[in-house]
Amino acid sequence: MGLFDLFKKHQTSSESKQGGVPWNSLSSEEDLDRLIDRSSRKPQCIFKNSTSCGISSMVLRSLEAQYDLKPEQADFYLLHIQHNRPLSNQIAQRFNIRHESPQLLIIKNGQVVRNASHGAITEVSIAQYL
């Protein structure tokens, strides 16, 4: 089995996984305001994805493959930065964090309680912040 077969095998197993991440689209400042408001009731997670970055795609697939939360535990939002860079910049400014991609933000009570980028995302235990 070659290196590409390993990626194919991983991709097939993650695609067949039941459930998957229940992604919500994050596409406007109003969406962000609602997300921040909801964070007082349950954690909100934002994944900033670069559709032109191989690392971003790998991290996204890994996050989806490891997902094992119930819908009532947290909401998940996907932001494609190529389609909405101004909103990505607004998020960085509003939470006083540096923009990166890929990037995972976990928000509770209106504050970012954890953020990670690149390979460090796969080391984040989201359940720890619920």
What does the pLDDT profile of the chain (130 residues) look like in tens digits? Answer: 443 333 333 333 333 333 489 999 999 999 999 999 999 999 999 999 998 998 999 999 988 988 888 889 999 999 999 999 999 999 999 999 999 999 999 999 999 999 999 988 988 988 898 8
Distance in angstroms (rounded) separating the CA atoms of residues 3 and 14? 17
| pLDDT at residue 36 in the model | 97
Distance in angstroms (rounded) separating the CA atoms of residues 107 and 44? 5
Q: How far is CA 46 from CA 57, 66, 122, in A?
A: 15, 16, 14
* 36: Cα within 13 Å, side-chain hemisphere: 13
Predicted TM-score (pTM) of the model is 0.82
| pLDDT at residue 46 in the model | 97
